Structure 1
Amino acid sequence: MAREATIHREILITHLDRLLSARAYPKTICPSEVPRALTVTELKTLGVSDWRDLMPEVREMIWDLRQRGQVDILQKGSLVPDDVDLTDIKGPIRARKIPC
């Protein structure tokens, strides 16, 4: 089971990293772009038939990157404050890679 979780994460993080890196600061991505970029084969490997099923996991991955200082999370064009938790967020968010 741990191996499956690792493969699962690797597939998603590969697409997430590619999408974030393709946007020059201050451009953002919508988290839905990550699962929507998956092939039919990748969706099957992840055990889902629809990209929407992966949205909670993708949002958590982006939130983890935020906590590590790698991305900014925005909502309605404004940075989400550090003291706001993912469970407090309602509605769409966007993410952008923090410049090095």
Structure 2
Amino acid sequence: MTKSESDHIERVKSLPCCLCGSSAPSDAHHILEGRIKGRRGNHFCTIPLCKDCHQGERNGIHGRQIMLKLKKQTELNLLGETIERLYGRRYGC
């Protein structure tokens, strides 16, 4: 991991959970490339998630994804929101 990737990950972790709003620190969830199981995406393609929204059996993105479905969101939409929160509107998706 490069220094700039590491710095970006730390900035993502400093944000509240993008699904439930739980306060930081958050986990940095990597968006999966093409939904290939077990393959991690680019370090810049990460979103902040609390432990439950990330790895929880019921709510988590790696579980049944209840929070993602309740919020009617996709990982890509959350990535766009994360980029906007980190770098401002002109860099958002």
TM-score per shorter chain, which class?
A: under 0.3
| Structure (1/2) with the larger helix percentage | 1
Bigger RCO of structures 1 and 2 (CA < 8 A, at least 6 apart): 1
What TM-score do the two structures reach when normalised by structure 2?
Answer: 0.28
What TM-score do the two structures reach when normalised by structure 1?
Answer: 0.27
